[in-house]
Structure 1
Amino acid sequence: MKQHGRTTFSPMCGLLALGLIGCGSAEDAFEPTEDAPPGTSRAALTAYEQAALDTANNAASCTPLGNFYWEIGNAAGTLYGIPRGSGVSATTVMPIASASKWLYAGAYVQSKGYANLTADEKKRLNFTSGYIDESTTLCGVAGTTVSDCYGPGYKDVSYRSLQNGRFFYNGGHMQKLALDDIGARKGTGVASVMDWINARLGTTLPESDSDVAPAGGFSGSAAHYRVFLMKLLSNQYELSSKLTVDSVPAWEGGTNVSYTPWTAAGQAYYGLGHWIEGETVSGVWTVTGHSSAGAFGFYPWVNAARNRYMLLARSRQLGGDAEGEKSRVCAQAIRKAYELGVAQP
């Protein structure tokens, strides 16, 4: 793939332990340049940046999304960022919904060490444990603990033996994991959930009362979340080299899939707290990236080669689960435009 004077890396494989998945295609890594920092005039933009900007503003997949912020970068930092519309920037704090799952999984694996994870812990992280919540109530009342959130007053998590070993996308798996590990912590104050998360991830995510729901209650900005993604790329986490391990089918009709919100065409898998995206090439399903889209539209992503990250930050809380998929489609269109230097329709 032609890139604008930036270094390329060799391909690397992302094999899932399912016997179905081939190597991710090599993607060029970008190195920071002095081309044009976000917010400069059109005249200062490269053709690649202009193509990304035009796609964000005009593509059919992006125009219905309202205001958002998109950026792409690598382990060294942001390469290019686009605020579409007004009111959303890299530092705008918003609820990130299920994008929380990747953060919590990263912190949990970091705290335990991957080699020390039990089979049950892995099943709670890849959503095959059988622990399902009965309510979508957000545990956002001040003073609520993780343990309270697990209980009948909020999430009311229960064990369903018939779902054990089957993929059921639901926050109850992680709620049970957090109950056993950080059950006494609250959303804010001394010994908060976010204190625990930030200490393990090296991040500075803000506290909120709803943090006691670790599968969907966190808040943050693109600037907060990019730190996590950059550290993933630079192998600073236990999870960095484990993005395809313990993965299970997660698309409608996949083997042992009970419930999935995945609506895009083709297959998808679920690893430890995140989606594994891909495409079928010559009959072989190939990893293209990893993500954790939130129901309100926050979409973080890293590519299969782990040399690039991307974020689309927005919050549309009345749109339902489809908002995450809408953000994914738009974000990927902008990325394609940036890589090719050709605006996408």
Structure 2
Amino acid sequence: MKRYGRTNLIWVCGLLALGSIGCGATEDALEPVADEPWGMSRAALTVYEQAALDTANHSAHCHLLGNFYWEIGNGAGLLYGISRGSGVSATTVMPIASASKWLYVGAYVQSRGYANLSTDEKKRLNFTSGYIDENTTLCGDAGTTVSDCYGPAYKNVSYRPLQNGRYFYNGGHMQKLALDDIGARKGTGVASVMDWINALLSTTLPESDSDVAVAGGFSGSAAHYRVFLMKLINNQYELSSKLAVDSVPAWQGGPNVSFTPWTVGQAYYGLGHWIEGEAVNGVWTLTGHSSPGAYGFYPWVNAARTQYMLLARSRQLGADGEGEKSRACAQTIRKAYELGVPQP
């Protein structure tokens, strides 16, 4: 049974909470599978795809997440996608919160060239610079600039000398970097933040007033973010080969860690993104790179940079740990897809 050769998009609706499915399947075919009749290939699922679908519907890590869209792909594009529930698809635009960080850093390193980054710039990118904000506002007022967002009316970023050299997860580091680089840019218009980012990353991310909060104010869809991840694993960015460099401990209780939201095992923080891993025979081993957002948007690429994955959802209920919930669900679906066996 072929795993590749087509792109599947499955929409799942009905009474998911009760485990019953009340709809069919839709496929967006890139090219016909050579040895299958066209009419049959639209409905058929491989054992791997079915395992992923079953896991999305029934896994303990996923069933309480509400509606979401999940996809997996490689450097050539989307391999398989699932919409669970209604209202969230590959093209649904939503606030992506801290998933913004990876995009901003990708553009910043692209504009500078990694070899030209100073020590201070790298510290702002891996959150050890000592620049911490006081407020969590997204600076979403129309006409606000990056510079305004840095100031006391919004983020109120200040330098904390005792935190210099220590890991402190906070958007203030990046807001200081943007202040010094693109401080006059606004959320919308020709001289917008996204105008600058899209030109550098060859993306088409939408503009919003809150884009001036570069560490957490962007919006987009899985389809928008997919372009960035594909180019990242295809070595089209300066950042592509630098995902593991300049990393620092970022887990609770780690050396020189002042504050981190990471609660599951050991992790590091590189240039604007998390470096995930797991214990293999008692040794921590890098498994991938990610940038989960507070509302549940979770982008990921594997350690070998041959595969990407996304889970898109927006649950703005003020609950903690939505990014971690999405990570756990997305990784469980990925495991099912790779093994061809539904996961609990």
Tell me, yes or no, whether TM beats 0.5. Answer: yes
Deviation string 1:241-266 (CA, Å, 9 cap, x unpaired) is 000000000000101000000011x2
Deviation string 1:31-88 (CA, Å, 9 cap, x unpaired) is x413745453695110100000010011111010000000000011000000000000
Q: Which residue pairs with 1:162 in the alignment?
A: 162
- Kept in 2, the 8 Å contact 1:104–1:215? The answer is yes
Question: Tell me, what secondary structure is at the counterpart of 2:309?
Answer: strand
- Give the distance between the partners of 1:322 and 1:35, measured in 2 at CA: 31
- Give the distance between the partners of 1:34 and 1:137, measured in 2 at CA: 43
Aligned residue pair count: 316
- Give the distance between the partners of 1:33 and 1:309, measured in 2 at CA: 17
- Kept in 1, the 8 Å contact 2:7–2:78? The answer is no
Question: Tell me, what secondary structure is at the counterpart of 1:339?
Answer: helix
Tell me the CA shift for residue 320 of structure 1. 3.1
Tell me the CA shift for residue 321 of structure 1. 3.7
Q: Which residue pairs with 1:112 in the alignment?
A: 112
Superposed CA RMSD in Å reads: 1.3
Higher mean C-alpha displacement, 38-47 vs 84-93:
38-47
- Kept in 2, the 8 Å contact 1:167–1:258? The answer is yes
Q: Which residue pairs with 2:72 in the alignment?
A: 72
Tell me the CA shift for residue 192 of structure 1. 0.3
Q: Which residue pairs with 1:297 in the alignment?
A: 296
Tell me the CA shift for residue 117 of structure 1. 0.2
- Kept in 2, the 8 Å contact 1:275–1:290? The answer is yes
- Give the distance between the partners of 1:291 and 1:127, measured in 2 at CA: 15
Runs of 4+ in 1 over 2 A off after TM superposition: 34-43
- Give the distance between the partners of 2:115 and 2:7, measured in 1 at CA: 43
- Kept in 1, the 8 Å contact 2:128–2:166? The answer is yes
What amino acid sits opposite 1:33 in the alignment? G
- Give the distance between the partners of 1:34 and 1:68, measured in 2 at CA: 22
Question: Tell me, what secondary structure is at the counterpart of 2:64?
Answer: helix
- Kept in 2, the 8 Å contact 1:35–1:45? The answer is no
Which runs of structure 2 are paired with 1:1-345 in the superposition (5 Å)? 32-34=4-6, 36-39=8-11, 40=25, 43-264=43-264, 266-345=265-344
- Give the distance between the partners of 1:225 and 1:278, measured in 2 at CA: 23
What amino acid sits opposite 1:109 in the alignment? V
What amino acid sits opposite 1:335 in the alignment? R
- Give the distance between the partners of 1:35 and 1:313, measured in 2 at CA: 18
Higher relative contact order (CA 8 A, sep 6+): 1
In structure 2, relative to structure 1, the CA distance for the partners of 1:37 and 1:65 (3 Å cut) is: closer
Task: Give me the identity figure in percent.
Answer: 83
- Give the distance between the partners of 2:111 and 2:43, measured in 1 at CA: 47
What amino acid sits opposite 2:122 in the alignment? K
In structure 2, relative to structure 1, the CA distance for the partners of 1:283 and 1:292 (3 Å cut) is: same
| TM-score of the pair, normalised by structure 2 | 0.90
- Give the distance between the partners of 2:145 and 2:125, measured in 1 at CA: 21
Unpaired runs of 5+ in structure 1?
7-31
- Give the distance between the partners of 1:34 and 1:70, measured in 2 at CA: 17
What amino acid sits opposite 1:71 in the alignment? E
Tell me the CA shift for residue 319 of structure 1. 3.8
Tell me the CA shift for residue 284 of structure 1. 1.7
- Give the distance between the partners of 1:267 and 1:256, measured in 2 at CA: 14
What amino acid sits opposite 1:70 in the alignment? W
- Kept in 1, the 8 Å contact 2:6–2:79? The answer is no
- Kept in 2, the 8 Å contact 1:36–1:44? The answer is no
Deviation string 1:80-132 (CA, Å, 9 cap, x unpaired) is 00000000000000000000000000000000000000000000000000000
- Kept in 2, the 8 Å contact 1:110–1:200? The answer is yes
What amino acid sits opposite 1:165 in the alignment? G
Tell me the CA shift for residue 283 of structure 1. 2.4
- Kept in 2, the 8 Å contact 1:35–1:46? The answer is no
- Kept in 1, the 8 Å contact 2:250–2:268? The answer is yes
Please tell me whether Structure 1 or Structure 2 has the larger radius of gyration of its CA atoms. Answer: 2
Question: Tell me, what secondary structure is at the counterpart of 1:272?
Answer: coil
- Give the distance between the partners of 2:108 and 2:320, measured in 1 at CA: 25
What amino acid sits opposite 2:47 in the alignment? A
Tell me the CA shift for residue 278 of structure 1. 0.2
- Kept in 2, the 8 Å contact 1:131–1:172? The answer is yes
- Kept in 1, the 8 Å contact 2:2–2:46? The answer is no
What amino acid sits opposite 1:316 in the alignment? R
Tell me the CA shift for residue 282 of structure 1. 1.9
